[in-house]
Amino acid sequence: MRIAMVSEHASPLAVLGGVDAGGQNVHVAALATALARQGAEVVVHTRRDDPGLPARVELAPRVTVHHVDAGPARELSKDRLLEHMPAFAEQLRACWRSERPDIAHAHFWMSGLAALAGARGTAVPVVQTFHALGVVKRRYQGDRDTSPPERVGVERRIVAEAEHIIATCTDELFELVRLGADHDRLTVVPCGVDLRRFVPRGPAEPRRPGLRRLLCVGRLVERKGIGNVISALASVPGTELVVAGGPDAANLGADPEARRLCALAREHGVADRVDLRGRVSRDDLPALMRSADAVVCAPWYEPFGIVPLEAMACGVPVVASAVGGMIDSVVDEVTGLHVAPRDPDRLADALGALLDDAPRRRRLGQAGVRRARQLYDWDRVATATHEVYRELVARPRPVPARRARPRRFTRVPAAEEHVRALARTLEGLPAHAPRLDEWGRELATRLLSGARVLAAGNGGSAAQAEHFTAELVGRFITERQPLSALCLHGDAAALTAIGNDYGPEEAFARQVRAHGRPGDVLLALSTSGTSPNVLAAARAAHEAGLTVWALTGPSPNDLAARADDALCIDAPSTATIQELHLVAVHLLCGSVDRAVAARRRRSRRVLEAAR
């Protein structure tokens, strides 16, 4: 079987020495290698982040890493990669049309976006593994979440469009169902552990005499909870904490999180018992783990977590936050202990009791070895993943017609053809009615609270945008107060002046920056989903704190990917898409009117009750 893996930011080569390689790098490298051992041919597509990298590198027998040119060939934060995914998708499409894989498996949400776009017109089924979900990250990190604002909306569309989704734990499964995933398109396949490297017998790193040892392994980011472990250490005397992760030891002084952790250790009076090692190679990690009395994994949330599996395989008990994948992998009082996240006091109690009970630690460690060997060997994980692939490949899949986006200047359909196409497309619109009703209720709430809605589009979409704002400022059906709505092409002087001074792509974006405020809404209309000035407006809206809703043609498309939510009409012509957009505008306006009337009735009842 020919397998194309897509891992846009996490190169499997980073496992072999890249700085600060994370769990996804390990996962992709190990899964690809295990699949190849079972006879598959695997190509891992990852973004080129160094101009000196060759186009293709052999990772292992039958595993090739393909460096994709998408954006500047240098290291970029993954939160800055979204704008380069269209170029990444184009490279995938070219590769897959010249040498079609049997299956594509995308890792992370931006990889899913690129893989779905790259697979269009190729009949390649796309499997998605998210590794982390934006809705969960936003829930736990709030304003500190640095993900692009488009992330949650893109993930919803991937959930709707991927052929199959592999979740890594049951907690993620429930989150995916909430995002709209069908149960029959979901399979839980956990991460694995390298049982050849992580074993209970072997050398252990020497320890400081007279001190027990706790170990944390992971990236130096606040959500990993290492600060909570340091706070707990103050109540666990006679114990040192070794922290492995982050940049090389020589560069820890320049790392903001390392400096924060050192300051926290000084504040709690444990600086002499906290040892920040920086990056530790994977070859040295097993000996370090075997030297510990317990491995502590105390993140605020964790999509899965490979470190607990590595500790279990080494026979070391794990104290883990009861979150995400660690609810599955670490069995409370069997292979380790569960603790509440972000609770240093309870963590200290659990650690103190465990460190004082050597027989208990041995029992938990031995059970951990058995569990890791029975459930989490990478060959077992690869077999389960391969089974998902085989079932999808075995399904009959019609080869899609090579139809480009709807075009204006093709044969003009006869009146009967046009009406039939319109009728067929209208039959699918009721499925979108709940979304439009939700938009209407939300829009009414915001407009009645003083917010504003902006609308933008080109050509026929401009007419729809103007129609929409006119219905709100005036009225749709029932009498109500005027609502603040602004059509961005309505001011011809501003439109032409901006186009002349800043270029046509800024025609709407500059007005969004001028008129938009946090809490406002931008309704962006584009039948193709690729209009540069509408895309720029969506980007400017997110930067200004607006919510972006989109009405587009067939998905996936760039505008739908950048919107917080999108209604995508799959129709054979631009004219039919515009006609469906008009119906959608009317449904949206009707929902706003109903919500305004309901608010008015509630206010009237409150006033009458107060008399």
What is the residue whose two structure tokens read 């209309």? 525
Look at 10-24, 77-91, 148-162, 392-406 and tell me which has the smallest mean pLDDT: 392-406
In a domain, 401, yes or no: no
CB 388 within 8 A of CB 164: yes
442 pLDDT higher than 60: yes
Name residue 106's beta-bridge partners: 6, 128
What is the mean pLDDT of the segment spanning 190-197?
Answer: 95
Structural domains in the chain (count): 3
Q: How far is CA 152 from CA 159, 183, 214, 566, in A?
A: 11, 20, 36, 12
In a domain, 388, yes or no: no
Containing 62, the helix (H) or strand (E) segment is: none
CATH number for the domain including 472? 3.40.50.10490
pLDDT value of residue 426: 87
* Domain around 471: 415-603
126 pLDDT higher than 60: yes
In a domain, 587, yes or no: yes
Q: Which residues contact 529 (CB under 8 A, 6 or more apart)?
A: 550, 552, 553, 554, 555, 557, 558, 559, 560, 568
What is the mean pLDDT of the segment spanning 372-392?
Answer: 96
209, burial (CB in 10 Å: exposed 0-12, middle 13-18, buried 19+):
exposed
pLDDT value of residue 16: 37
What is d(CA 601, CA 45) in angstroms, rounded to the nearest whole number? 57
Cα three-residue angle 305-310-312, rounded to 5 degrees: 105
Containing 64, the helix (H) or strand (E) segment is: strand 63-68
Q: Could you tell me if 250 and 282 lie in one domain?
A: yes
466, burial (CB in 10 Å: exposed 0-12, middle 13-18, buried 19+):
middle
In a domain, 201, yes or no: no
pLDDT value of residue 402: 41
Q: Could you tell me if 572 and 430 lie in one domain?
A: yes
User: Which amino acid would we find at residue 560?
Assistant: A
pLDDT value of residue 240: 98
In a domain, 203, yes or no: no
Q: Which residues contact 98 (CB under 8 A, 6 or more apart)?
A: none
pLDDT value of residue 561: 83
Q: Could you tell me if 341 and 426 lie in one domain?
A: no
What is the mean pLDDT of the segment spanning 377-392?
Answer: 96
What is d(CA 74, CA 52) in angstroms, rounded to the nearest whole number? 10
| Most confident of the following: 40-54, 175-189, 425-439, 560-574 | 40-54
Cα three-residue angle 166-170-172, rounded to 5 degrees: 65
Q: Could you tell me if 597 and 483 lie in one domain?
A: yes
Residue 422 pLDDT class (50, 70, 90 cuts):
confident
pLDDT digits (tens, 9 = 90+) for 220-262: 999 999 999 999 999 999 999 999 999 999 999 999 999 999 9
Q: Could you tell me if 285 and 326 lie in one domain?
A: yes
Q: Where are the beta strands (DSSP E) in 527-569?
A: 547-552, 565-568
pLDDT value of residue 21: 53
What is d(CA 13, CA 5) in angstroms, rounded to the nearest whole number? 14
pLDDT digits (tens, 9 = 90+) for 388-399: 999 999 987 654
Out of 132, 153, 188, a domain closes at 188
What is the mean pLDDT of the segment spanning 525-540?
Answer: 93
305 pLDDT higher than 90: no
Look at 349-363, 401-415, 452-466 and tell me which has the smallest mean pLDDT: 401-415
pLDDT value of residue 544: 87
| Most confident of the following: 11-25, 131-145, 269-283 | 269-283
Out of 355, 376, 397, a domain closes at 376
Q: Could you tell me if 370 and 462 lie in one domain?
A: no
3-class SS of residue 406 = coil
Report yes or no on whether pTM surpasses 0.75. Answer: no
Q: Could you tell me if 419 and 500 lie in one domain?
A: yes
CB 593 within 8 A of CB 448: no
In a domain, 393, yes or no: no
Q: Could you tell me if 14 and 141 lie in one domain?
A: yes
In a domain, 389, yes or no: no
451 pLDDT higher than 50: yes
Average pLDDT, the chain: 91
pLDDT value of residue 600: 85
pLDDT value of residue 611: 66
In a domain, 610, yes or no: no
CATH number for the domain including 65? 3.40.50.2000
Higher pLDDT, 275 or 499: 275
Q: Could you tell me if 38 and 117 lie in one domain?
A: yes
Out of 351, 376, 401, a domain closes at 376
Q: Could you tell me if 100 and 142 lie in one domain?
A: yes
What is the mean pLDDT of the segment spanning 136-148?
Answer: 87
Q: Could you tell me if 352 and 500 lie in one domain?
A: no
3-class SS of residue 4 = strand
Please report, rounded to a whole number, the percentage of residues in the chain having pLDDT higher than 90. 74
Higher pLDDT, 419 or 515: 515
18 pLDDT higher than 60: no
What is the mean pLDDT of the segment spanning 488-512?
Answer: 92
Q: Could you tell me if 136 and 251 lie in one domain?
A: no
